[in-house]
Amino acid sequence: MTEDEFQSFLDDISECFIAADFQQWADRIELPFSIVTKTGPVISYTLEELRADFDLYLQACENMGLDTVFRTPLTCEICDDGSVIATYRTELLSRGHRMTEAFTSSALLSSRDGIWRMTAILNARGHQSWTGHHPHKSGRPT
């Protein structure tokens, strides 16, 4: 993964929330997809589950009046199997003002058909703080 590819990836996973573009988000995800936060894991096995969680993030964006999600690349570690552990810093902004403290996340990425996709995010701040919803802690919801 080059620096340009990393930044392009981060731009895509940032812009999709401001543009409310689920397809742009889904194009950068490999299912099953897990987000591990301090409140526990959220795993999406299907596009419907991924869409439900995406919609909760959109609710968080609306609640905070976000107009910019800005992600800065920090490190990119190439693993022996060709996957990448990419670490980045996220800022959530409304009219140029930070709406929450910036936070750092790491994503596990792999390339398929020349496109980098995430299979997991670790240490991400989930939407739960702003929406009060946690779709499921682990495993497929019942």
- CA 111 and chain centroid, separation: 16
Q: What letter does residue 124 receive in the DSSP assignment?
A: P
**Cα–Cα distance, 71 to 83 (Å, whole number):** 20
- The 3-state DSSP class for residue 51 equals helix
- Contact status, residue 107 vs residue 10, Cβ threshold 8 Å: no
**Cα–Cα distance, 125 to 11 (Å, whole number):** 18
* Integer angstrom CA distances of residue 137 from 40, 64, 134, 142: 6, 24, 7, 11
Q: Kindly give the confidence (pLDDT) of every residue in the chain, 142 residues in length, as a single tens digit, with 9 standing for 90 and above.
A: 999 999 999 999 999 999 999 999 999 999 999 998 877 888 999 999 999 989 988 988 888 888 888 999 999 999 999 999 999 999 888 888 888 888 899 999 999 889 999 999 997 665 444 444 445 444 444 3
What's this model's pTM, rounded to 2 decimal places?
Answer: 0.81
- In order, the DSSP letters of 65-121 are T--EEEEEEEEEEE-TTS-EEEEEEEEEEETTEESS--EEEEEEEEEETTEEEEEEE
Q: Residue 64 has which token pair? A: 């905070």
Q: Which domains does the chain have, with CATH numbers?
A: 3-126 (3.10.450.50)
pLDDT for res 138:
42
